[in-house]
Structure formats: C-alpha cells, structure tokens
Structure 1
Amino acid sequence: MSGSLVLLHLAGAVALLLFATRQVRTGVERAYGDVLRLKLRSILKNPLLAVGAGAALAICLQSATAVALIVGSFAGSGIVGGTAGLLAVLGADVGSSLVVKLLSFDLEVLTPICLVAGTVLFMATSRRDLLQLGRILIGIGLLILSLRLIGEASEPLRESSILPVVVNYLSGDPVTAFLIAAIMTWLFHSSVAAILLVVALAARGLVPAELGVVLVLGANIGGGIIAVVLSRAAPRKARTVPLGNLIMRGAGALLALTAFILVDPPLDLLGATVPEQLVNAHIAFNLALVALGMPLAGLVYRLAERLTEINAPASEDDLATAEISALSEAALDSPAQALANATREVVRVCETVEVMLANIMELYAQADADKIKALAALDDRVDRKHAAIKLYLAKVTSRSLTEQEALRCQELIGACVKLEQVGDIIVRNMLVHVAKKMERGLEFTPEGWRELTGFHASVLANASLAFNVLVSRDPATARQLVEEKDRLRDVEKIASRSHFARLREGTVKSLETSTIHLDTIRDLKQINSLLASIAYPVLEEHGLLKGSRLAAG
C-alpha cells in the first residue's frame, strides 16, 4: 500500500474518532445537559466537591473543553465562584484522562452491541430522550470502532522507511514534539482524540514511551488552548476560568517536560506496556495538577482576571448590554424585509426569556436579592420589546401583504404575546414562590427537588425547540414539541401523585413546601403550554393539527 493511501486511511479513522466523540457529547448535552448544568451549579459552590463534579461531567461529555466553557459561563454570570470553577475544570481534566483509560481497554465486543442498540433506539422511537440515548450508543460504538481502524491503518507504517527518521528526530527534539502535539490537539479540538491517537500508534510500536510522554504533555497544553480560543468572544468574566485552566495546565506541562528531560524518570513504574505507561502518565499528570491546584487555584484565578483585563476596554460591560433594534422604519415598504427584521427582534426576546427560564431554578436553590432584581429587569426588557414589536408589525399590516406574509405577521405577533406571558409567569408567579421560600427558610425534600428540576429541565429543552420552530418552521420539530407537551402532562400527573403520597406519609418538608411545589409545577406546565402553542401555526399549515389534537401521521 502506498504511503499516501496509508495516510488517507489513517485520516479517515481519525475523522471517525472525532465524529464519534462529538456524537456522544451531543447526545449527552441534548438528553441530560440541562439537568447536569442545574446540578453542577449547586455542587460547584463547594470547592472540594467541584473537582469530583468536574470529573464526572467530563466523563459524561467526553470533553474537558465543554466543561471549561460551561463552568466559565457560570463563573462569568456570578452563579459560582471563580476559584471553585477553576477547580472543577481541573477535575474535568482528570475525568477526561479517565475516559482515555477506559477506552484503552479492549472493548471491541461492545461495538456491534452499541451500534445495533443505538440504531434501533434512534430509528424506532420519536421520544427525544430515547433518540439521544440511541445517538450516545452509536457514538460509543463508532468510537471503539475508530480506535481499531486507527490501529489497522497504521499497521503498514511499521514498514515505512520515513517514519523511523521522523520518530528519531522528534525523540531527539522533545520541545518540537511537545509543540507539534499541542498544535495537533488544538486542530482536533479534542485532547481525548489526540491522546487516543498517540496511544494507538504506541500500541503498534510506532511511538516509543519517551516520545509518547512528551506528546501527551503537549496534548494537555493543547487541550487548555481549545477552551481559551472558543471562549474568546465571551464576556471578560466568562473567559477567566478557561484562561486560568490554561495557565495551570501550561505551567504544569512545561515543568513536567523540563523535569522529564533532565531527570529521565523510569517509565516502567507506570505500566508494563507502552500504551499503559502513556495513559497512566496522562492520569498522573492531571492528578498532580489537582493536588497543586487546590492551594493555588485562588492565586491563578486572580492572575487570569488581571490578564483578561489587559485587553478588555473599560466600557466592555456597557457594550455587552448595548442593543441595536432590528425594527428599521426604512424597511416597512418592503414587507418581506420588515418581517425578517421583526423575526430577528422576536428571536432576541426568545433569548431573553430563555435566560430567565434557565436561571429561575437557581433562585429556588439559593435565593439572592440582586439576582431576583436582575431577573425582574429582564422581564421589563421583554415588555419593552414586546410593545415595540407589536407596534412595528401593526405598521407592517397597513401595507399591502400577500396571504403568506399576513399569516407570518400574525404568527410573530402571537409568538411575541406568548413570550411576554411566559416572562410574566416567571416574574409574577415563580419569583413570588422564591421570595416565600426564602422568607420562611423552607427546603424541598430530595424527591420533590428532583421532580421540580427534572420538570424544569424538560420545559427548558422544549423552549429551545419552540424557538427553533419559530425560525425554521420545521414541521417535524413542531410535531415533536406538541408531543412533548402531551408527555409532560403525564409527567405532571406522576409528580403530583408522588407529592401527595409524601403528604400522606406526613413528610414535614413536603407539608411545608406543598403549595410552592404544586404552584411551581403548575406554572412550568403553563409555560410549556404557551411555548408549545408556538408550533400550532406550522402544524396547521402542513395539515398536522386537527382541532386541539395532533393529526395521525
């Protein structure tokens, strides 16, 4: 086989590895992302638990980068402390290294099982949770398959006359090898994929242990660069945790590289084979970072804060909150353009409502007067935009419109009214429950809190579907949204029965929080119904709605 064909096969196997990793991460985020984020918010308030939580989330998402971006956004919005957030990301690096360890075992028997089970779930059901579970299983199956393909594709390289020259050169120049690994990891956008590739090549005898350790250290610093690059457009405070993680990982990797070059430690202590030595070296490095990070995290976070302030303009916060209205008066004589402008503005209302809905449960967990005021201020913004959009669309309707344009105009007005109602429910109902819970010092039972957060996560996921339908007008997504409404109705019945069962048992916390619990479920159900109704115009247009029920199909 020619060298170019070998490299093509190897590139294809690596591409499958990257695709499979993303499939698993996407499935977990879509199925359980909201619940994981909600739980992560409360756990991160404890710096010691933050490390374990970060590791667990990285294992679920198969990406320390994703955890760094999530935690960075939490720290940026003040939901968690910066030091605890940095510790969580260090824990995520440990979790990512454990994923590499798990995938280094012989798991080939799982490939057909995961692919068959995942395909059956993905093809045979319309339930979102089962669809995403199918996606996760397919991703795992392809991930394991890609590792075997990498090994097979790299087998002909044993006979290559060029590879020994390259390996010898990199072995004699660890700094260059280190930089190449960092760049390769950044290009892959996955430290897991980069290190698995190195381990797979080492298993074929193509990468010696000493060079492999250098490449692993380079991949670690490359993994830190990914989150910094991806968060470069985020607000300054949200960039601080990823930058702090890069400082910690970068300094640690450079120190470890220097020590490795000077000391030449015995790698036999890390395992009997080269792949074992590389995987265990990766885990040991990240565990050492956590041990050092516990006392130094606060100092590193403050350093990262200083660095992010250097290039940040003094008016950054003002710029972050500045808004330019899309409701251009000049476009009124062109209805198509005017409706596109109105759609842009309604989408902004969707984003504001989504922020309100996403953050309300955090206030249930830990009420804060400043955050309550901030949430109420967002409702004022929704009201202002709602009034402006209605006035603008009223001006549009005074022009000559086609039937389709008139229907779209009514659809946007209806969506805007529903969004304003959702904001009112959050502020006028749910914030009242928050205040009552805070004043009385009440606590939900663990079972009750799980019911509330699970119900809220489903409503938040449906909100994303509703906002997508508003823009894409996709009938399949619209149908899924209304089906989710029916499913949530059943979930509400189950939650109510469980709550009343706890009341009959005389659970004190259930008695104290009964009204708040039931009213919150009711409010969330009403919000979900309003959001689901955004799909009705699309379903009616495609003949998928009969009265108040979905048409068979």
Structure 2
Amino acid sequence: MFLLQLFGATMLLLYSVRMVRTGIERSFGASFKRIITTAGVSFRAAFTGLTLAIVLQSSAAVAILVSDFAGKKVLQFGAGLAIVLGADLGSALLIQILSFDLEWLVPVLLTVGGTLFLKTDSRKLKQAGRVILGLAFILISLKFLRETMDPIRDSAFLPAIAGYLEKDFLTAFLVGAALAFVMHSSVAVILMCVTLVSIDAIPLGAGISLVLGANLGSATVPIWLNRGAVAKAKRILLVNLAIRGSGAFIVLLILNGIVVTTYMTEISEAQSLVLVHILFNFALLVFLPFLKYLQAPAERFIPDDSAPVSVPASHHVSVLNDGLLNNPRLALIGLRREVLRMLHLVELMTTPILDIYEKYSDEQAREIVKQDRYVNDALKGIRTFVSALPTDTISHEENNRLRNLIEYAIALEQSGDIVVLYLAPRAEQMYKEGGVFSSEGKRELLAMHELLLENLNLAASVLISDDLSSARLLKEGKTEMTNFERSSRTKHLNRLQAGTRKSISSSDIHLDTLRSIRHLNSLISSVCYPILIDNGLLLKSRLLSEEETAEEYTLQGSLE
C-alpha cells in the first residue's frame, strides 16, 4: 500500500507540473520564440530564462526551446547558454515558492481554476484555469506525499535507507541524478526531497546530495530528448551539462568535506535544502561574462555536421506515392501527409512576415514567393493524385475524408496567396513609403501574429489526430482572432480620431494587415469544421454576418 500511495503521489506531482506547462504553452507558446530570440546576451538573457522557467515550471522545457532555436540559427551560442543558466535559477526559485505552506490556498485555486476552465469560452481563460488547477494539484500531491511517508517514518526500513544515503553521498548523488532523468522533472524530484526532509524522513545531508544529483540529472534530460538534433542545437545543452555537472560534483565534495549541515541551525532543514539549491544555481551565473569564450572549445569538441541537414528539402518534396492508388486507406494516409506538408510550408511563409514589416528584405520576400510556388505545386499534385484514384474502390466514409482533405488543401493554397499577394506587398509598400506603426498598433499586430502561429500548430495537431478537443480549441482560437481583429480595428480608428501621427501614416497598411491575418487564420482553422460537424457541435449551414460576408466575398474575388 505504501508503494502504491508513493507512486500515486509522484504521478500526480508529475501530471500537475505538466498540466501547468501545457496551459502556459497553449496560451503563450508562439510568444516564446520572440522572447527568447530577442533576449540579447548576458544578464538580460539569464533573466529571460529565469522568467520562462518559472512560467513553464521547467528549466528543461526552456533548454529544449533554446536548443531548437539555436539549431535553426536564430539564436547565438552565448545568449542561448545564458538563457539556460538563468532558467536553472528560475526553476530553483520556483521550488522556493512551492515549498511554502500553501495548503490554505488549495480550495481557492480549485474554485477559481475550475470556474475558468469549465465555465468560460475564451481559450486563454480556459488555459489560465488549467494552469491554476495544475498549481492546486501540485500542492495536493505534496500533501499526499507527506501523508504517505508519515506512517513509515519511524519504521526500520526508511531510516536504514536514509542512513546509507547520508554516509555514501556519491550513491545519493547518483540516485538524485537518476530520479531527475527518469521523472524528466527536476522540480518534482527536488520538491519530493524537500518534503521528505521536512518530515525528517531523510536527513539534510542525504537531501543535499540528492538535490545536487538532481541538478546533474536535469541537465541530461534535454540532451536525451534532443539526441537527434544538429550540432548547433546540441552544443548549448552539452556545455550546460558540463558546467552544471562539474559544478554539482565539486559542491558535493566541498559540502560533504566540511560537513556544512552542522552550521545550518538557524533555519529549518527543509529551507536549508532549498537555500543550497538556490545558491548553487545562483553561483553558476558567475560564468555569464565568460560564455563567449566557451563557444570556440564547444565548436572544436562538437564540430558541425559533416553534411548539412536539409530540413527545408523535406518540405519541398511531395510524399504522394502513385503505388498506393489501389489501396484507398493507404492513399488517404499519404494524402494527409501531403496536406500536412503544405501546412508546414504555409507556416514557413507566415512565421517571418512581421519581421519583413519591421525590416524589409528582398531576399526574404523572394523566399516567401518561392515557398508559395511549392504550395501551389503541392495542390496540383494532390489534384492529379486524387483524379487517378479508382472511385469504385472508395467507401462513402473514405470519400468524405478525401473531400475534406482536398478542401483543406485548397484553403492552404489560398492561405499562401494571402501571404504573397497581400501581406508581403504591404510590407514592401511600408518600406518604400517609410511608414511606421504606432507602438500600440505594432503590439496589436504582434499579438495577432502570435495567435496565428499558435493556431497553425494547433491545426497541424488536428490534421494529424482528428482530436475533438483540439478541434474545439482551434474553433475557439478562430473566434478569438475575429474578436481581436475587430477590437484592434476599433482601437486604430480611435487613434486616428485622436490624431496619432504614426497611425495616420500607416492606416491603410494597418487595416489591410489586420484583415489579411484574420482571413488567413480563418482558412487555416477550417480543418476543425468537419470534426465538429461530425460530432454534432457545429451546424452544417452557418449564416455569416453582413460584414463578414462582404469581406470574404471581396477577398475571395481578388484571389480568384
């Protein structure tokens, strides 16, 4: 029963941490790239990492994001490593917050979180509810863990294990590293250690060794998860492992050599353990001024890949196989993969579009046009492939799926046209006329663009899985975008009436961009409609408002 309760408490703790991280990522996932890639260097970058780790409840999640951006060459080595070191400190500060006695807060968090998640329609409010519920579950799991350990605290079994770990600090160090790696969460492991120390289940000395080992183990998690990444992506993670691993081992030897626990009498043992963890991660920031000198050794020991990895090429080659035409089920799978490839191409076109507004580049504009040609070619290939399918072998259900995929492929082709025919020309016009957005208008466009990127990722999930909950989220995201565009347009007109000079000079471009992003989002989100209709959550016939009808007709006519 003890083992079952311990396993249950541990799983609830892991699930709760993941629940918080998922809610944050779904609400602000597209914002992280902008935050990370504009972090600068040194202490500013470290503070960015610290903040993101507290928000995401995981330094490993931040490290994986940094590694991904470094692999795509949008983040420099020094800035990336500074963010990761800051994230480790942020994770330590988060443990300090969660280690306080906050049980009185659980009913409040459950009430507020449950209300937001179950009773609101806004996607961001729902995800805020998810985050708040996750925090409540973390506190519940810690209480569950304390109650589980209480009955065996005075038994012969636990003191024997705890005494062994205290005497053999190297074993305790390795156990902590293994737990952090297996659980994929240093936050969960260290919170568990703090809880066990607080109820005298294990001595402080063993707790310190376990926590230092968890610091080593947490640095190995992103390396394992990114083991197939390119060299540029691996360097930051491996250097971080070298810094944290060697630092943790040195501190382990020092603290056990001078028996530092005998001097920690002014504060509780649990707080002492948290303090050691925070001070260790704070001490690692001493490397910040020297990070630029670590790049050359890292490149020497981890050289670039012998052959460049052609990631874009995988997007530019059709995955359709004429050999599958006589097998409708496999043909539909291939067709779905091809539509997913089109979606990735549209994402490649859409992601940098606001950067071109900010700093126009002919090279980037030409690359976007080039991507659109691939999208058009993909649609032509899909039409040819579908026309060759033997209709007598296709069931009614397969025919419906086939039609839905074709319709979505057409919508994606139109999405590419919007980027090329509307957004990119507006960016060029703004560059030639020397126009600038007001600070408020720029923030509004940036927020809409981030929401668009979030919906792009969600659309890919819906396309792959046909998941109903994801389809609902995507529909809510479309509604949110419509409301956002309407609100931003009203604010823009208010700025015009107030005589804001920048708003006047860029008015047409601002309004056209708002409308184009909204319509682009509508096309991308259309993948959710068949799923919602099949589950009776959406009427097959919907009456658009007069305003929406006019806009759709005008833009569609222009595209045709």
Equivalent in the alignment of 2:323: 330
Equivalent in the alignment of 1:548: 542
- CA offsets, 1:136-166, max 9 Å, x none? 1111101011111111111123212133332
Equivalent in the alignment of 2:555: none
- Answer yes or no: is the 8 Å Cα contact 2:95–2:274 preserved in 1: yes
- CA offsets, 1:66-89, max 9 Å, x none? 111111111221222121011011
Equivalent in the alignment of 1:289: 284
Q: Which amino acid is 1:504 matched to?
A: Q
Deviation, 1:395, is: 1.3
Residues in 2 aligned to 1:281 and 1:97: alpha-carbon distance in whole angstroms:
10
Residues in 2 aligned to 1:182 and 1:317: alpha-carbon distance in whole angstroms:
32
Do the aligned partners of residues 391 and 250 (structure 1) sit closer, same or farther apart at CA in structure 2, a change above 3 Å counting? same
Give the counterpart of 2:298 among 257, 280, 304. 304
- Answer yes or no: is the 8 Å Cα contact 1:62–1:99 preserved in 2: yes
- Answer yes or no: is the 8 Å Cα contact 1:108–1:144 preserved in 2: yes
The alignment of Structure 1 onto Structure 2 pairs a total of residues equal to 542
Do the aligned partners of residues 263 and 450 (structure 1) sit closer, same or farther apart at CA in structure 2, a change above 3 Å counting? same
Do the aligned partners of residues 280 and 437 (structure 1) sit closer, same or farther apart at CA in structure 2, a change above 3 Å counting? farther
- CA offsets, 1:44-84, max 9 Å, x none? 23443211111111111100011111111112212221210
Equivalent in the alignment of 2:3: 7
Give the counterpart of 1:347 among 340, 346, 358. 340
Residues in 2 aligned to 1:247 and 1:25: alpha-carbon distance in whole angstroms:
26
Q: Which amino acid is 1:22 matched to?
A: R
Q: Which amino acid is 2:418 matched to?
A: I
- CA offsets, 1:393-424, max 9 Å, x none? 12126664333333332222221121122123
Do the aligned partners of residues 532 and 320 (structure 1) sit closer, same or farther apart at CA in structure 2, a change above 3 Å counting? closer
- Answer yes or no: is the 8 Å Cα contact 1:444–1:510 preserved in 2: yes
Deviation, 1:442, is: 5.2
- CA offsets, 1:154-211, max 9 Å, x none? 1123212133332222222222211111111111100111111111011011222222
- The 5-angstrom pairing of residues 82-481 of structure 1 reads 82-265=77-260, 268=263, 272-292=267-287, 294-309=288-303, 312=305, 314-318=306-310, 321-322=313-314, 325-365=318-358, 371-396=364-389, 400-438=393-431, 443-474=436-467, 477-478=470-471, 480-481=473-474
User: What secondary structure does 1:547 align onto?
Assistant: coil
Deviation, 1:96, is: 0.4
Equivalent in the alignment of 1:524: 517
Q: Percent identity?
A: 36
Give the counterpart of 1:52 among 41, 47, 64. 47
Equivalent in the alignment of 1:80: 75
Residues in 2 aligned to 1:477 and 1:549: alpha-carbon distance in whole angstroms:
24
Residues in 2 aligned to 1:387 and 1:271: alpha-carbon distance in whole angstroms:
74
Deviation, 1:226, is: 0.6
User: What secondary structure does 1:79 align onto?
Assistant: coil
Give the counterpart of 1:502 among 495, 503, 507. 495
Query: TM-score scaled to structure 1, two decimals?
Result: 0.90
- Answer yes or no: is the 8 Å Cα contact 1:69–1:227 preserved in 2: yes
1:40 paired with 2:33, answer: no
User: What secondary structure does 1:356 align onto?
Assistant: helix
Deviation, 1:291, is: 2.1
Deviation, 1:239, is: 2.4
- Answer yes or no: is the 8 Å Cα contact 2:77–2:236 preserved in 1: yes
Residues in 2 aligned to 1:370 and 1:262: alpha-carbon distance in whole angstroms:
60
Do the aligned partners of residues 259 and 490 (structure 1) sit closer, same or farther apart at CA in structure 2, a change above 3 Å counting? same
Residues in 2 aligned to 1:39 and 1:506: alpha-carbon distance in whole angstroms:
31
Deviation, 1:376, is: 4.1
Deviation, 1:370, is: 5.3
- Answer yes or no: is the 8 Å Cα contact 1:180–1:218 preserved in 2: yes
Deviation, 1:249, is: 1.2
- CA offsets, 1:490-526, max 9 Å, x none? 2212101111222233333323433332222111111
Equivalent in the alignment of 1:61: 56
Q: Which amino acid is 2:40 matched to?
A: K
User: What secondary structure does 1:396 align onto?
Assistant: coil
Q: Which amino acid is 1:147 matched to?
A: L
- Answer yes or no: is the 8 Å Cα contact 2:54–2:90 preserved in 1: yes
Deviation, 1:541, is: 4.7
Deviation, 1:277, is: 0.9
Do the aligned partners of residues 399 and 471 (structure 1) sit closer, same or farther apart at CA in structure 2, a change above 3 Å counting? farther
- Answer yes or no: is the 8 Å Cα contact 1:38–1:362 preserved in 2: no
Deviation, 1:441, is: 6.0
User: What secondary structure does 2:228 align onto?
Assistant: coil
Q: Which amino acid is 1:300 matched to?
A: L
User: What secondary structure does 2:528 align onto?
Assistant: helix
Residues in 1 aligned to 2:297 and 2:370: alpha-carbon distance in whole angstroms:
32
